[in-house]
Amino acid sequence: MQTDADLERAAAAAEAAFDFREAIAARRKLAELRPQSHEARLAYARTLRRAGESHASIAAYEEARRLGAPAADIDLQIGAIHAERSEHLQAENHLQRVLAVQPRHEDALCLLGTVMQEQKRYGEARQLLERALEVRAAFPEALFNLGLALFELGDLRGASRRFGECFALNRGTPWSGAAKLQQGEPAPRFSQEEMAVNATKIRHDCEQIEYLLGLGRLPPQFKPVLEDYRALMRAMQSDVDHRRNYQFDPARHPLVAKTYKRPLYVDPGLAPEGPLVNPDLDAREIEQRYLGSQPNMVAADGLVTPQALQALRRFCRESMIWNNIKPGYLGAYFYDGFSSELLLRLAHELRERLPGIIRGLPLQMMWGFKCDATLPGLGTHADAAAVNVNFWITENEANLDPEGGGLLVHTCDAPADWGFNKYNSDAATINDYLDKVGSKPVRYPYRENRAVIFDSDLFHASDRPRFREGYLNRRINITLLYGSRY
């Protein structure tokens, strides 16, 4: 018979491996073995939430409340689940309960600000988020969401400033020259998990540092940094698995340890004069094709002007912001450096040019992904938004497969009762579901400056890339998400 300790180990191991079926089973058994323990019920509720089982999670949180868990903590968690599901009234009720007893609860203030934002109550959102920052000035989530509120209020400069402050809290301010190489440990300090490496990341960083040295963006003092990265890459090549992350020895690679995931150089991301979205784009025809398709999806070539395309390539290739590690590709996210003036103006212009599709929906998220030459890209998933605008910026000459390398979009969407982690990352459940409904994806081949615009909760995946080797040939896509899934 399994003991409590056995079940705890099994649950922790399953959660670490994102095997939520096993994790839920172990947490359920623990809760049954400890029927009066609100801690066991809370752990069960948290695992259900991570697995995307929203309704079951709320029920487990309510049971934890009945067993004596602090009411404010329960209301905060249930409010967060309702907020994720865009159930605004329920979320607001729970969060207001928290603030009634703890009016300076910064997490409740921040979360309620996001709820107001989703309802387009941007002035109220701004006030709540500013109150949260009065309590905790170094609060990245509040800074990011305040940036979103300012963006919707038309203050792009203020939004850019807040996004920059958020990035600085996450990574430190961009380095200017080599002065920080001679200083002590840079701030902020990263966790051991954050300092993990994989082959895709180290190979990319070697190529990017070499590229920036060649352009003169990094001074010659960074040549020993490049050599240390190359030494680490050589050490990893013998037994590395691109699907796994590894810890490296900072004593053997001190310059990697000092510079890893730091913004050694970030392109200013200035927008060129004039429009960014191609003036020759037939917006009405694109909207008609999108709205006339069931489900809604459309491809549009020549999305941005040549000047905007060059500026986007420069920002993505020169900025050291590619810090989210995945098997075979890297991500740069809105809250972690992917937030230049150029990108904000583009997000604003797209909404203005395609009102029949984006129809005034608030900007939710932006990111960029860089793929390795031939490794798989993103697996099948859906996103937490209403409209997904995905476009590619790498030159066509880099693509070795003109009929592939782009995007696969299924004609079936994620069930409405699935939570984010379930429809975004539970590969086994997603594939089982798609097999059950017999879904076949629509293939959109890769083309530079081609956008694929679709209902964001449609399941989709990268069409496995086959690109030339070399830094400038890496497949780069940019994604903008608008509106709420619900």
Closest CA to 79 of 62, 92, 60, 63: 92
| Mean pLDDT in residue range 393-409 | 96
Q: Please say if the pLDDT value at position 99 is more than 70.
A: yes
Local confidence band at 460 (pLDDT 50, 70, 90 cut-offs):
very high
Q: What is the third-level CATH fold of 4-149?
A: 1.25.40
**Between 138 and 421, where is the model more confident?**
138
Local confidence band at 5 (pLDDT 50, 70, 90 cut-offs):
confident
- CB of 402 within 8 A of CB of 448? no
What does the pLDDT read at residue 458?
Answer: 95
Q: Please say if the pLDDT value at position 240 is more than 70.
A: no
Closest CA to 439 of 448, 428, 430: 430
Q: b/e string for 199-219 if b means 16 or more Cβ within 10 A?
A: bbbbbbbbbbbbbbbeeebbe
Name the helix (H) or strand (E) containing 198: none
CATH 2.60.120.620 for domain 283-482, yes or no, is yes
Q: Please say if the pLDDT value at position 410 is more than 80.
A: yes
What does the pLDDT read at residue 230?
Answer: 97
Contacts of 145 (CB under 8 A, 6+ apart): 110, 113, 114, 117, 125, 129
Share of the chain above pLDDT 90, in %: 78
| Mean pLDDT in residue range 189-212 | 95
Local confidence band at 354 (pLDDT 50, 70, 90 cut-offs):
very high
What does the pLDDT read at residue 19?
Answer: 86
Collapsing DSSP to helix, strand or coil, 32 comes out as helix
| 297-301: strand order across its sheet | 297-301, 450-455, 387-392, 476-482, 363-371, 329-333, 324-326
What does the pLDDT read at residue 272?
Answer: 96
d(CA 342, CA 361): 20
Mean pLDDT, the chain, rounded, equals 94
Long-range Cβ pairs for the range 139-143 (8 Å, 24+):
139/106, 139/110, 140/166, 140/169, 140/170, 140/335, 141/110, 141/335, 142/106, 142/109, 142/110, 142/113, 143/169
What does the pLDDT read at residue 80?
Answer: 96
Least confident of 9-23, 32-46, 73-87, 351-365: 9-23
pTM over 0.85: yes
| Mean pLDDT in residue range 168-188 | 92
| Mean pLDDT in residue range 395-402 | 96
Contacts of 447 (CB under 8 A, 6+ apart): 301, 392, 396, 406
Dig out the tokens for 174 from the structure: 């961009």
What does the pLDDT read at residue 456?
Answer: 94
Dig out the tokens for 217 from the structure: 């963006």
Q: Please say if the pLDDT value at position 445 is more than 70.
A: yes
Closest CA to 350 of 407, 395, 390: 390
d(CA 22, CA 401): 39
- CB of 324 within 8 A of CB of 336? yes
What are the extents of the domains in the chain?
4-149, 179-259, 283-482
- CB of 118 within 8 A of CB of 484? yes
Closest CA to 287 of 278, 296, 279: 296
CB atoms within 10 A of CB 230: 17
Q: pLDDT per residue over 301-328, tens digit each?
A: 999 999 999 999 999 999 999 999 988 8
What does the pLDDT read at residue 360?
Answer: 87
Q: Please say if the pLDDT value at position 255 is more than 90.
A: yes
Local confidence band at 377 (pLDDT 50, 70, 90 cut-offs):
confident
d(CA 58, CA 467): 45
Closest CA to 327 of 206, 245, 237: 245
What does the pLDDT read at residue 327?
Answer: 85
Q: pLDDT per residue over 56-85, tens digit each?
A: 999 999 999 999 999 999 999 999 999 999
CB atoms within 10 A of CB 469: 11
What does the pLDDT read at residue 483?
Answer: 93
Tell me the one-letter amino acid at 411: T
Q: Where are the alpha helices (DSSP H) in 136-253?
A: 140-152, 156-171, 199-215, 223-237
Contacts of 479 (CB under 8 A, 6+ apart): 365, 366, 367, 368, 369, 383, 388, 389, 390
d(CA 358, CA 350): 8
| Mean pLDDT in residue range 226-233 | 97
Contacts of 123 (CB under 8 A, 6+ apart): 153
d(CA 311, CA 149): 26
Q: b/e string for 347-358 if b means 16 or more Cβ within 10 A?
A: bbbbbebbeebb
Q: Please say if the pLDDT value at position 243 is more than 90.
A: no
What does the pLDDT read at residue 34?
Answer: 92
| Mean pLDDT in residue range 358-362 | 91
Q: Please say if the pLDDT value at position 484 is more than 80.
A: yes
User: Which residue, chain included where needed, has tokens 């703890």?
Assistant: 102
Local confidence band at 207 (pLDDT 50, 70, 90 cut-offs):
very high
Angle between helices 106-118 and 71-84 (to 10 degrees): 20
